[in-house]
């Protein structure tokens, strides 16, 4: 290996044992010199290893650990390997203030962490400009998609408030903690209302399943039609529409309506539980919906 490397360095070595040093030019045959930096002016050390290698078991290690043996600064023997140098001029470093200014994409998603493009933290006055939170009564009529979207609006608003809080504190802007906390409370109240609504809806669905198990009109096996209304109920409904005064009939009609409602709920639930992780609108909003 070492001899091969040496041969690669000095092609004259392969010509003959006597040809040491730079004899390649005097031999007459034009040799293709390898593209090497012309640092090597003298031959490498050709001294043989004087130490005998001890091979018997238990012998001391006399391995030659000097990787630079044979190289001499005095004899200008150069290195045994090619150095990784290049002629390409190195680029000059540019001062930081002379670098081209980096423009932020106006549609960058991280803008959503700020109340506006110029301000990172809302002023207390701006923070105090908020309405009340959503109540459970208002949210009961909303679909799962609406509630889910509203939840994400709340999450982003809380992130915005947290970013503003951090900025106000670290940059020492001034007051505004109380207003931000108040705003955060309102957002949290909305989130609590959303969870309240969903929990209510879930309990309702559980009750509906229980009722449906005992209902002869509802088939929960999943094989046949889930709901087969009895014919007399339809008759009663027609009769009830005709004469509203009949109390017994009206009660039966209400019962039928109740059953229908529960089944409607049941029909709605699978659609509502359909997993839509993220609302499609939150994908690339230029201006996120503000609370």
Residues that bind other proteins (CB under 8 A): 96, 102-105, 108-110, 112-114, 117-120, 123-125, 148, 151-152, 155-156, 158-159, 162-163, 165-168, 170-176, 191, 194-195, 275, 277-278, 282-285
Distance CA 6, CA 49 (A): 16
Q: Which is nearer to other proteins, 167 or 269 (CB)?
A: 167
Distance CA 238, CA 68 (A): 108
Give the residue carrying structure tokens 């994400």: 152
Question: Hey, is 249 helix, strand or coil?
Answer: helix
What distances in angstroms separate CA 190 from CA 133, 161, 180, 253, 272, one per listed residue? 5, 15, 16, 38, 20
Question: Hey, is 36 helix, strand or coil?
Answer: coil
Q: Which is nearer to other proteins, 150 or 236 (CB)?
A: 150
| Distance in Å, CB of 195 to other proteins, minimum | 7
What sign results for the dihedral spanned by CA atoms 23, 26, 29, 33? Answer: positive
Beta bridge partners of 218: 227
Q: Which is nearer to other proteins, 9 or 154 (CB)?
A: 154
| Distance in Å, CB of 94 to other proteins, minimum | 14
| Distance in Å, CB of 241 to other proteins, minimum | 42
Q: Which is nearer to other proteins, 10 or 156 (CB)?
A: 156
Q: Which is nearer to other proteins, 120 or 211 (CB)?
A: 120
Q: Which is nearer to other proteins, 64 or 118 (CB)?
A: 118
Of 206, 256, 254, nearest to 227 by C-alpha is: 256
| Distance in Å, CB of 265 to other proteins, minimum | 20
| Distance in Å, CB of 142 to other proteins, minimum | 14
| Distance in Å, CB of 278 to other proteins, minimum | 5
């Amino acid at each position: 290996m070492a001899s091969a490397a040496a041969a690669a360095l000095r092609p004259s070595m392969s010509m003959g044992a006597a040809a040491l040093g730079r004899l390649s030019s005097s031999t007459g045959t034009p040799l293709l010199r390898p593209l090497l930096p012309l640092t090597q002016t003298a031959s490498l050390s050709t001294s043989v290893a004087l130490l005998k290698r001890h091979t018997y078991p238990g012998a001391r290690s006399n391995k030659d650990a000097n990787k630079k043996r044979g190289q001499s600064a005095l004899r200008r023997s150069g290195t045994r390997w090619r150095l990784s140098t290049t002629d390409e001029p190195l680029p000059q470093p540019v001062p930081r203030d002379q670098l081209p200014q980096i423009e932020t994409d106006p549609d960058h998603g991280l803008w959503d962490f700020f109340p506006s493009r110029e301000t990172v933290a809302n002023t207390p006055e701006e923070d105090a400009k908020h309405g009340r939170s959503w109540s459970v009564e208002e949210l009961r009529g909303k679909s799962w998609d609406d509630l889910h979207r509203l939840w994400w609006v709340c999450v982003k608003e809380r992130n915005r408030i947290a970013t503003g809080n951090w900025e106000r504190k670290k940059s020492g802007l001034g007051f505004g903690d109380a207003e931000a906390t108040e705003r955060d409370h309102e957002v949290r109240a909305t989130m609590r209302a959303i969870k309240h609504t969903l929990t209510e809806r879930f309990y309702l669905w559980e009750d509906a399943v229980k009722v449906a198990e005992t209902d002869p009109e509802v088939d929960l096996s999943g094989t046949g039609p889930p709901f087969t209304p009895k014919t007399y109920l339809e008759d009663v409904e027609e009769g009830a529409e005709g004469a509203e005064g009949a109390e017994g009939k009206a009660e039966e009609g209400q019962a039928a309506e109740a059953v229908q409602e529960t089944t409607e709920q049941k029909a709605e639930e699978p659609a509502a539980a359909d997993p839509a992780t993220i609302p499609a609108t939150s994908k690339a909003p230029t201006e996120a919906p503000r609370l």
